[in-house]
Structure 1
Amino acid sequence: MRVASEEKGKVRKGFYIEEEVLEQIDSLLQQANVKSRNEFLNQALKFYIGYLTSEKIENYMLSTISSVMHATVKDSENRMARAMYKLAVETSKLSHVIAYSHGVDEGALQKLQAKCADEVKRINGAVRFEDAYEYQHD
């Protein structure tokens, strides 16, 4: 006949414990909602194992999140670079069409360059066609 505790998958092991810790366990049995020191220790050990495991999981998750974020930022950088390249090509085409169709002398072009640089700096790059239209028609 097997002992009841063996049927539940439990084994008897001996270990040392400080008397002060044992007294604390005894005082907390009711609060822990357990009937014995054995139940208390099983719950406490499971809790501590969970705590240690969660630290490993947390470190794993942090490194995983970090690598995902790095890949996401890298992908965003690549998309932005492609978009900026396409925008630069379109701007270059517009510049060539305008230069071809309008006779602008070099002095006026230099003044326009300075005015546009100041304007972009002042409005923090938020260029609006409507603002340029109003400026040109005033």
Structure 2
Amino acid sequence: MVEGIYKEDNCSSRSEFIEKAIIFYVGYLSANDNSQYLPNVVTSTLKSIVAESDNRMSRLIFKLAVELAMTMNIIASSQDIDKMTLTKLRGECVKEVKRLNGSFSFDDAYDWQKG
């Protein structure tokens, strides 16, 4: 059983998996009321899931920020926009994004520029 599942638990060896299993089982047995132990397991599992999700989101946001920085630099190098216009545009964009509750698409920008 260990051979088939230890890698699925992100363990680097069977020994690590067995150690984790023993710690879990001892905790389960040592709890006066086994129903009190279950919430600790659930909490621990949920914390791990949230931490992994946070890690993934952080990596994706970083990649998105890099792509956005590249796009902004390309546009800035090819357009002649003065500081005052840029400041006004930033203010208008903040208002528009707030109005749309953060959901701003390229189509929204097109309609806004052309309308």
Q: Give the whole-Å Cα distance in 2 for the aligned partners of 1:123 and 1:131.
A: 9
TM-score when scaled to structure 2? 0.69
C-alpha deviations, 1:6-35, integer Å up to 9, x for none? xxxxxxxxxxxxxxxxxxxxxxxxxxxxxx
- Deviation, 1:121, is 1.4
| Counterpart in the other structure of 2:103 | 126
Gaps of 5+ in 2: 1-31
Shift of residue 132, structure 1, vs aligned partner? 0.6
Q: Which has the larger radius of gyration?
A: 1
Q: Which amino acid aligns with 2:97?
A: V
**Cα drift, residue 81 of structure 1:** 0.8
Q: Report the Cα offset of residue 74 of structure 1.
A: 0.7
Alpha-carbon RMSD across the aligned residues, in angstroms, is: 1.5
Match status 1:85 vs 2:62: yes
| 3-state SS of 2:104 partner | coil
Amino-acid identity (%): 38
Shift in Å, 1:59: 1.1
> Number of residue pairs matched?
85
Q: Could you list the per-position Cα deviations for residues 34-76 of structure 1 after superposition, in whole angstroms to 9, with x for gaps in the alignment?
A: xxxxxxxxxxxxxxxxxxxxx7221111100000001111111
Structure (1 or 2) with the greater helix fraction: 2
Structure 1 segment 1-138 matched on structure 2, within 5 A = 56-138=33-115
How far 1:101 moved relative to its partner? 1.1
**In 1: Cα distance, 2:110 partner to 2:44 partner:** 47
Shift of 1:126: 0.4
Unaligned runs of 5+ in 1: 1-54
- What's the TM-score, normalizing by structure 1? 0.58
How far residue 84 of structure 1 moved from its aligned partner, in angstroms, is 0.7
Structure 1 residue ranges, 4+ long, deviating more than 3 angstroms after superposition = none
Bigger relative CO (Cα 8 Å, ≥ 6 apart): 2
Give the partner amino acid of 1:97.
I
